[in-house]
Amino acid sequence: MNSTINLLIADTQLLMREGLKTLLSGKPYVKVVGEATYTDEMLNKYASCRPDVVTLDYGQAPYPESESITRLREHYPEAKVLVITSSLGRDDVMHALGKGVIGFLTKSCDEDEVMSAIKAVAKGDKFYCSKVLDIIMDRNTPEPKPTPSFEGITPCDPVQLTKREIDIVRLMAQGSNAQDIAETLCLSVHTVYTHRKNIMRKLDVTSAAEVVLYAINSGLVSPVN
């Protein structure tokens, strides 16, 4: 793969295509080489552009749940697909993964996740946003939980975090984002996101702020005065 990532955007929604192009316009390592609004056009554009990554709104008409990815991978088995969708049913997610999709985001993901996903998928690495990881891990929690206070927690309390997870908690408490943590610990961004999800699961929390609160109350970091 060249240093520049060639991207084909396949989405029925003009605003989504234009929004993604605008997001990528200031990134010298990504080049949008084509756009498509339906399956046949996507196949034709792939044949002429040979992109490194195809972004696809899975399940959005006229991209039927099975046809678009199946036909793309039948003709071009090397194709690397990143789904960016507003449809997040468990069946949709698992079906797409079964078709060979290696990246899966929702349209509510932030710029950091989008850029990290494009770079990971271009290298052939898997990348799933936190909501998709919840589905894969069967961790849907429809009812909100009260925010834990972690009062009385000391460093010797039986918190079941690994050394790597503790390193990540400390970096999160210092304000590092996923990309910063990945570079500091020599990990992929996807691995950092996975660790963060595991940390939140173990601590039974739902936000980074609660992880930071845990880090302070458990003595992993000192509060800033």
pLDDT of residue 61: 59
Close Cβ partners of 57 (under 8 Å, ≥ 6 residues apart): 10, 11, 12, 13, 16, 63, 83, 84, 85, 86
**CA-CA distances (angstroms) from residue 60 to 99, 104, 153, 176, 206?**
16, 14, 47, 35, 29
pLDDT digits (tens, 9 = 90+) for 26-58: 888 999 999 998 889 999 999 999 999 999 887
97 pLDDT more than 50: yes
Report which of 93, 81, 110 is spatially closest to residue 23, judged by C-alpha positions: 110
Check: CB of residue 140 under 8 Å from CB of residue 27.
Answer: no
Q: What mean pLDDT, rounded, does the chain reach? A: 80
Report which of 209, 129, 112, 215 is spatially closest to residue 165, judged by C-alpha positions: 215
133 pLDDT more than 90: no
pLDDT digits (tens, 9 = 90+) for 186-199: 988 888 888 888 88
Exposed / middle / buried, residue 1 (Cβ in 10 Å: 0-12, 13-18, 19+): exposed
SS3 65: coil
Report which of 60, 73, 2, 66 is spatially closest to residue 31, judged by C-alpha positions: 2
Domains in the chain (CATH in brackets) are 5-136 (3.40.50.2300), 146-225 (3.40.50.2300)
* Residues comprising the chain, all counted: 225
pLDDT digits (tens, 9 = 90+) for 136-167: 765 444 444 444 544 444 443 445 678 888 88
Backbone angles phi, psi at 106, to 5 degrees: -105, 165
Check: CB of residue 104 under 8 Å from CB of residue 93.
Answer: yes
Q: Tell me, yes or no, if the pTM score tops 0.75.
A: no
Q: Considering only residues 76 and 97, tell me which one the structure prediction assigns the higher pLDDT.
A: 76
